[in-house]
């Protein structure tokens, strides 16, 4: 199949909502110690003009993503992470500009982002496509699970391994490990990755899950959620889009061919219908199941 004939369906299948633009702000967090690292531990760095969190687990996730990603996948996950960071920073600025001091019942629509866990967001965004690893005998790829679930499971295992080794990196005391990556934070990473291709669900989940999905979606649809054209272009300049469309198409065709049962009734089904010989979702769809049910 010629690469020039591949057609990317993903922007059609995934749709987002544009937001008004605003300027980004530096990283802050109001998390308490039981939820994650406190504000004083949030070191940061700037990538493509975007200020991002720079903690041991984020650095480890970044290195893990680079190690287990082809160039086009790595550039995609980096863009998705940075776009998500910009979304949060824009919304935080809007929250600061829309504070409601009334003692009445009015609520601020941006309140939930005040406690946004930027470390959870970073890890999930960086590792969200481990399920695309086409390395022979990849430890991440199952024969019978959706790629999103493979990626979510691999990311959870990454966090468990990081926890087990954190006491040796000089950054976290051993007694802090369980507190830092408890079940809830790990589950947020799992959910964000498992749901990132389902824009009819992730907008209604926790803010970390939602922003992971929105940042990834922006990589297909263009600037949105307050991110400006200039910011978007700066990220794409450092992490180029060359080969992205062809790479995504090839990956989805590979998934449809290698484990078709995980692609029926998903956004990948059209790739199987168009490009994989003898691929057919008929008999495997929810429609087929319902229509075959006896009254």
Q: Which tens digits make up the pLDDT trace of 84-98?
A: 999 999 987 766 655
Residue 249 has what pLDDT? 98
Distance CA 30, CA 220 (A): 31
Does 131 map to a domain?
yes
Does 280 map to a domain?
no
Looking at every residue in the chain, the average pLDDT score rounds to 82
Does 16 map to a domain?
yes
Q: Which tens digits make up the pLDDT trace of 66-76?
A: 999 999 999 99
| Overall average pLDDT of the 40-56 stretch | 88
Residue 294 has what pLDDT? 85
Does 227 map to a domain?
yes
Residue 31 has what pLDDT? 41
Q: Provide the domain count of the chain.
A: 1
Does the pLDDT at position 275 exceed 70? yes
Does 249 map to a domain?
no
Does 132 map to a domain?
yes
**Share of residues in the chain with pLDDT > 70 (%):** 74
| Overall average pLDDT of the 23-49 stretch | 56
Distance CA 161, CA 118 (A): 20
| Overall average pLDDT of the 98-114 stretch | 45
Does 262 map to a domain?
no
Q: Which tens digits make up the pLDDT trace of 5-19?
A: 443 444 434 443 333
Does 167 map to a domain?
yes
What is the SS3 string spanning the chain?
Answer: CCHHHCCCCHHHHCCCCCCCCCCCCCCCCCCCCCCCCCHHHCCEEEECCEEEECCHHHHHHHHHHHHCCCHHHHHHHHHHHHHHHHHHHHHHHHHHHCCCCCCCCCCCCCHHHHHCCHHHHHHHHHHCCHHHCCCCCCCCCCCCCCHHHHHHHHHHHHHHHHHHHHHHCCCCCHHHHHHHCCHHHHHHHHHHHHCCCCCCCHHHCCHHHHHHHHHHHHHHHCCCCCCCHHHHHHHHHHCCCCCHHHHHHHHHHHHHHHCHHHCCCCCCHHHHHHHCCCCCCCCCCHHHHHHCCCC
The residue ranking higher by pLDDT, 231 or 9, is 231
Does the pLDDT at position 55 exceed 70? yes
pTM: 0.80
Structural domain containing residue 175: 3-98+108-243
């Amino acid at each position: 199949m010629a690469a020039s004939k591949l057609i990317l369906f993903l922007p059609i299948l995934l749709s987002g909502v544009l937001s008004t633009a605003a300027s980004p702000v530096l990283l802050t967090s109001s998390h308490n110690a039981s939820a994650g690292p406190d504000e004083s531990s949030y070191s940061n760095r700037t990538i493509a003009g975007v200020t991002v969190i720079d903690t041991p687990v984020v650095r480890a996730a970044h290195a893990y993503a680079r190690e287990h990603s082809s160039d086009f996948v790595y550039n995609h996950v980096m863009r998705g992470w940075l776009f998500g960071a910009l979304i949060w920073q824009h919304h935080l600025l809007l929250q600061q500009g829309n504070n409601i001091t009334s003692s009445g019942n009015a609520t601020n629509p941006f309140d939930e982002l005040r406690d946004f866990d930027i470390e959870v967001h970073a890890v999930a965004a960086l590792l969200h496509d481990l399920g695309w690893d086409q390395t022979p005998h990849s430890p991440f790829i199952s024969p019978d699970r959706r790629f999103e679930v493979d990626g979510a499971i691999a990311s959870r295992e990454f966090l468990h391994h990081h926890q087990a080794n954190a006491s040796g990196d000089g950054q976290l005391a051993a007694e802090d490990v369980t507190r830092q990556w408890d079940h809830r934070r790990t589950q947020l990473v799992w959910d964000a990755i498992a749901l990132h291709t389902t824009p009819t669900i992730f907008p209604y989940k926790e803010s970390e899950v939602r922003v992971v999905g929105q940042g990834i979606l922006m990589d297909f649809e263009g600037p949105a959620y307050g991110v400006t054209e200039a910011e978007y272009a700066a990220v794409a300049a450092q992490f180029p889009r060359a080969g992205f469309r062809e790479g995504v198409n090839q990956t989805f065709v590979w998934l449809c061919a290698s484990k078709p049962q995980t692609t029926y009734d998903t956004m990948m089904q059209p790739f199987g219908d168009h490009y994989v010989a003898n691929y057919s979702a008929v008999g495997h769809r929810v429609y087929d199941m319902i229509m075959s049910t006896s009254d």
